[in-house]
Amino acid sequence: MPSHGKIPRDDIIQFKNCRLLRDHKLIIDDLWVRNGKILNPEKLFFDEKTYADVQIDCQGCIIAPGYIDVQINGGFGHDFSTSTENVLDGLEMVAKGLLPHGVTSFCPTIVTSPPEIYRQILPRMKRFNGGPHGAGNLGVHIEGPFISKEKKGAHPENFILDYENGWKDVMAMYHDLTNVAIVTVAPEKDCTDEVINEFIKRDIVVSVGHSMANLKAGEKAVQEGATFITHLFNAMLPFHHRDPHLVGLLTSDKIPEGKTVFFGIISDGIHTHPAALRIAHRVHPLGLVLITDAIPALGLEKGTHRIGQQVMEIKNNKAVIAGTDILCGSIGSMNECVQHFFESTECTQIEALECATLHPAQLLKITDSKGTLDYNTDADFILLNDKLDVLANYIDGQLVWEGDKAPKRRVTHIKK
């Protein structure tokens, strides 16, 4: 629980004795916050001629932007793909549960479902800012149903569809796209170009995945506007030397100039081998986005649970469709994924952290507010030790969670 209580939002807070992740470096500097924003101290000193109201000694901790998870199916017993009357209650429960794992914002993900599920859930999944109630909702990630049956993974095959009438089928399925931030499609399907263009017009990120596509189809999708690959290596054709398929997008020479193809990767120790993590990182480090793909069993004990329209079970530290060995999502948290990635790739702390902060913010085009510690951005950040254990979580400049490993920080209220 927070050790120093709630500090008034309009107080100037100075975080001292810390290392800031800023401009691709860990720098020894102070972090200044007021009214939920990160401040430029020079303007405080020279323009306002004022100083801190409160000083917090971080005792050498790393301060990094809060983690952003752009693909999470649920957690703590709640499934985003299940139609209930308490959609917002479940959303807020997950948002609260993510705080100890360093997440300050996320994209709740809905897997392949029948039309009535989308129509009931999507209008209720309204975006909200983070705070003591939990991490912020950046918008829904719809994964399906316009994907490949051959690479369905845990998605129920009977609900997977083609576009018989192009964009009309999309709107007939989803009905309301107001709260949608990302959509995953299989690029090899007919009418995909039209569909991608329509999503792009609505400022919705298009991701390719759950697909049998070859590299040419993937390149065409990117040329039309797709910018993301859903959980690289999983639910797609594997790399082949004569056709590298969607994996080849990481080194394709057909990507429009100045465009970055981002790719999600599940670094939970189950879905992706450490050698594959190293390959992806070394080939295209600036596009790597760590995701959890977490399911409702995140934070729960082993046993049987429901995800979307199917039943799954936790066994041997992994989640599978009940009665099979088919993976159906992760039970790893974001801080565990960051730590596993850091250890498996032997990358720098900076690189590991940016894969869960800067890169997802770049994907969503929200770096003016999230994913950095730049001046005037939202004061959503986390404190970590050198092992990248999350020690504390701040949203809107306020302490929203503090762990047992956090040092007892000295807080000084300055009298003016």
Residues of each annotated binding site for substrate: 154, 234-235, 242, 271, 327-329
E strands along 12-115, which residues?
13-22, 25-34, 37-38, 54-65, 67-72, 74-75, 78-79, 103-111
Q: Are 99 and 133 in contact (CB under 8 A)?
A: no
Question: How far is 241 from 244, CA to CA, in rounded Å?
Answer: 6
Residue with tokens 């910018």, as numbered in its chain: 227
Binding residues for Zn(2+): 143, 210, 231
Please state whether the peptide bond connecting residue 145 to the residue before it is cis, i.e. omega within 30 degrees of 0: yes
Query: CB count, 10 Å around CB of 60?
Result: 12
**What are residue 32's phi and psi, to 5 degrees?**
-115, 135
Active-site residue, from 293, 378, 380, 396: 293
Q: Per the structure block, which two tokens stand in for 299?
A: 């934070």
β-pair partners for 289 = 264
Are the C-beta atoms of residues 129 and 136 closer than 8 Å to each other?
Answer: yes
Whose CA is closest to 264, among 233, 309, 222, 221?
233
Q: 326: Cβ–Cβ under 8 A, 6 or more apart, which residues?
A: 153, 154, 320
Q: How many CB atoms lie within 10 A of CB 4?
A: 14
Q: In this structure, what token pair is assigned to residue 197?
A: 């263009």
293 flagged as catalytic: yes
CB-based burial, 299-333: b 16+ in 10 Å, e otherwise: beeeeebbbbbbebbbeeebbbbeeeeebbbbbbb
| Residue type at position 303 | G
Q: Which of 205, 232, 248 is nearest to 290 (CA)?
A: 232
Given phi > 0 = left and psi -120 to 50 = alpha, else beta, which region is 74?
Answer: left
> Which residues does the annotation mark as catalytic?
293
